[in-house]
Amino acid sequence: MRAGATAIVLALLTSASHAAAPAAGLCAATETTFFACTTKRAKSISLCGAPPRTLQYRFGAAQRPELIYPRDASAGPASFLYAHHFRYQADRAEVTFSNQSVDYAVFDYTEDGKRRAGVRVTSADGKETERVCSGPVTSRLRELEGVLRCDADNALNGGECR
């Protein structure tokens, strides 16, 4: 009887942990998922790679990504910038890049216990839009601090890089 109960508990724990684990988005199993989530419109936002060798941003549906940047993942670590700000009840991290005069910021913000994450896109004419995550978010952006170049122009860094 005791072995049967243990097996049931183990089965429940195993299934619960698999159900709660967020998907890797558009990242391959061989890559580290630094950021992954899905928007309300079922588009995936992903930042994948193995820095310092590779890093790549991917956006869109799994079968048809709309944007992959940079095309050569080995150019990725030099193509992205990092910014982070932490204070009491606020933690904000961003990985930014520019592609064809459009600026992108993959962001993960937690403030007063509320989390907001996604990608902010700013066009050449200054128009800004956000694609916000809906559902589980995988974020390891803070692991990119010291791996990516610091963005001294980003307000999150307070105008300085350490």
9 inside domain: no
Residue 118 belongs to what domain range? 21-157
* Residue in the structure block whose two tokens are 């982070």: 84
Task: Tell me whether residue 8 is in a domain.
Answer: no
Instruction: Look at residue 7 and tell me if it is in a domain.
Output: no
In the β-sheet with 128-132, what is the strand arrangement from edge to edge?
Answer: 128-132, 114-122, 102-111, 90-99, 81-87, 149-150
Domain count, the chain: 1
Is 13 contained in some domain? no
pTM greater than the 0.85 cutoff: no
Rounded mean pLDDT for each run of 10 residues along the chain, 162 residues in total: 35 31 75 96 96 96 93 96 92 96 97 96 97 96 94 82 74
Does residue 35 lie in a domain region? yes
Q: Residue 15 domain-assigned? A: no
d(CA 21, CA 17): 6
d(CA 12, CA 66): 38
Strand partners, 82: 95, 150
